Each structure stands twice: as structure tokens, then as C-alpha cells.
Structure 1
Amino acid sequence: MIDIVEEVPAHAGAREALLDLSFGEARLARTSERLREGLLPVFAFVALDATGKLVGTVRLWSVADRSGCQSLLLGPLAVDPGCRGNRVGDRLMRHALNQATMHGHGSVILVGDLPYYARFGFAAGLLDKVVLPGPVDQDRFLGLELVRGHLAELNGVVAAAGSLDPAVAPAPLSNGFSIPKSA
């Protein structure tokens, strides 16, 4: 039995270990990761097995173009190798997309494998006017409209549009400047 639940801070260590296992530490250098850095996700879900072990994760992040048109950036999606083939990723994806739809979001974008994500309605070629701030294989830059025509409104470079994570956000100083919390 697998339960899909909202991610809580206690899941952070297991989530990061699963992401390292699935993608390696090189994942931290990817363009999508740069967009997520220092922000809180809009949605974050994990899959827990019957023993309570975290066996899957998916997150959605807010991004926007210069005109303020917003979309959600999906990723990463990861499933424990021992659970692959049990539709854990499918359940996580469907749950995340359902929540995005129920909360009125217009679209979801991601960088991933079309053969996998097409089953959820993602397609290539919908983001020809959209640019991520870094290198991206355009064949892997996929979109899904939750509201018809929404991706046609997204144009130009998209940037992070989410809330800062207070655990990693710079601490403001009285003079208006900020310093990283690690300093």
C-alpha cells in the first residue's frame, strides 16, 4: 500500500537522499534546479509505503514570464528503484496535476522525457516562445495546459515567482541589503 501525502519538513532528509539516488549530485547544477533554489514549492507531495518509508516525491514551483503570466514548473519527480513499476510515479503525477487544476493553475511546464510524460498530457512544441534561464534541450522542454490556451500567453524568459524559503533566504538588514543566512 502506498499513500500520497503532503510533504512535511520531516521528509526533507529522505527526499534529498532519494533525489541523489535517482539523479546524482549533478542534479544541483541543472537549469530547473537554479529556478527552484531558495524557494518554497507551491505543492510538494511524497509517497510513503506501508512502513512509512518515503518512496517517491514530486514538487511544483511557481514561475512567471516578464509580463507576470504564471505557470507551474514540475520537478523533480523521483521514485525509489525498489518501487518502480508499481505506478508510484503515476500516482504522484496525477495527484499533483489534480491539485494544480483544483487550485486554478493554468499550466505546468517541465524538462523531461516525452515518452514518460506524454501519458499525463504533456507535449513538446508548446513552449516555442518560452525560454528558461540556462541550457535546456528543447526536445525535453514540455508543457501541459490545464486551462486551454494558457501556454500561448507565456512568452519569453521565465523566472522563479514563488515564496522565499525562510530557512535559506537572505536575512534583510536595516539598510535594505541582505546577507546569506550561512554568513
Structure 2
Amino acid sequence: MTSVQKSVSPEPYPPLVIETPAMEAAVTALIDRVFGPGRFAKSSERLREGNTLLADCSFVSLRDGAPVGCVRMWPVTIGGEPVAFLGPLAVDPDERSAGLGQALVEAACEAARAAGWRAVLLVGDGPYFGRVGFTNAHTAGVIMPGPVDQRRVLLLPLRDGGDQGLSGPVAVDPRA
């Protein structure tokens, strides 16, 4: 599948496509523009360093061939249990307020569900990601690799009970 955009009516943002290796430099440039160099200090970045992108769960929105939005997923474990880790989510400032960020998150989470992941973990804004179903109701025992506001550690179960019993340190999945 190359596009996940609904065909019933045109959306106010460009279609979503699965990220390919050829997009790596342009997607990284978008992420750098949106987050700046401070992103490398975040504990979430520790889970992406040396990790393998879940290509079938990572999406890009292209306008005139250039990425204007992206979301990436990574394999991690919580206390040894595999889950997908979402981030970064980046949307060009000129493309915000049209629903692109939420569409990217929904596409990535649906792809993770289809791929058999039990849950998606992220560190982010509760009210924003809560619209997609993320919550911190079952994250008290989730230990990120570095300082983080525990209220921003969120989970989305992708199947019944997918967020239950997850506790312990979050680490790059050694099987990745």
C-alpha cells in the first residue's frame, strides 16, 4: 500500500505514503527544521539511536515531492515486552492546523496494529495524543532512559489488554 489517505473526499493536506529509504535525508531535514538541535538531548532520542526504523509503520506527507509531515515508529521493549515507539512526529509549520499530525499518528498506529504490535508508546502532550486514544493510565511503571515528565509517557493499546502489565525500563528491542 502506498497511500492511506481516504479517497472519499480530498483532505486539506497531501496524501500519506510509507517512508522509503530514499526519503531519509529529506525527512531528517524536516525533523531538524521542526525540532532543532535540542531534540538530541531528549530521552526519546536514546531509543532511536542505533535502532531500526519500522518502515511499514512510518509515514510521510509529501507536497511537490518534499516532506511536509512525518511520523516514525521504532521497536522497543518495556520490561522486555515488545511495543512500538512513536516519534518523532513532525509537521512543517505552514501545514499545521489542517489535521495532518493527527492523520499521520492514526496511520502509523493503524499500521502497527496491522503488523501485530500490542501497543504504541510515546512521550508527548496528553491532550493532543489523547484525541487518538493515548493515555498515561497504565504507564506508572514505565521507565524511560533519562529524565522525562512521567505524565507525558503515554500508551495506546492496539488490542484488548495491550497496555496491561507493561512496566520496567524502556530499551531498544535487541531483536530489531
1:96 aligns with 2:105: no
1:128 aligns with 2:130: no
1:63 aligns with 2:55: no
> What does 1:106-121 correspond to in 2, within 5 Å?
106-121=118-133
1:65 to 1:93, Cα distance in 2 relative to 1, 3 A: closer
Deviation at 1:9, TM superposition (A): 2.2
Letter in 2 for 1:63: V
1:45 aligns with 2:59: yes
- Partners of 1:122 and 1:144 within 8 A in 2: yes
Structure 1 gaps of 5+ residues are 165-183
Match of 2:97, SS? coil
Distance (whole Å) between structure 2 residues aligned to residue 63 and residue 154 of structure 1 = 12
1:30 aligns with 2:38: no
Match of 2:131, SS? helix
- Partners of 2:121 and 2:153 within 8 A in 1: yes
Distance (whole Å) between structure 2 residues aligned to residue 145 and residue 8 of structure 1 = 26
TM-score (norm 1): 0.83
- Partners of 1:71 and 1:107 within 8 A in 2: yes
Which residue is 1:54 aligned to? 67
> What value does the CA root-mean-square deviation take over the aligned residues?
1.5
Deviation at 1:99, TM superposition (A): 0.5
Which residue is 2:5 aligned to? none
Distance (whole Å) between structure 2 residues aligned to residue 144 and residue 90 of structure 1 = 14
TM-score (norm 2): 0.86
- Partners of 1:41 and 1:162 within 8 A in 2: no
1:107-139 superposed Cα distances (whole Å, 9 cap, x missing partner)? 011100011101000012321111111111011
Structure 2 gaps of 5+ residues are 1-12
Identity of aligned residues (%): 43
Deviation at 1:48, TM superposition (A): 0.8
Deviation at 1:26, TM superposition (A): 1.0
Letter in 1 for 2:72: R
1:77-104 superposed Cα distances (whole Å, 9 cap, x missing partner)? 0101111112111211111111111111
List structure 1 runs of 4+ shifted beyond 3 angstroms: none
1:6 aligns with 2:18: yes
Q: Which has the larger radius of gyration?
A: 1
Deviation at 1:148, TM superposition (A): 2.0
Match of 2:122, SS? strand
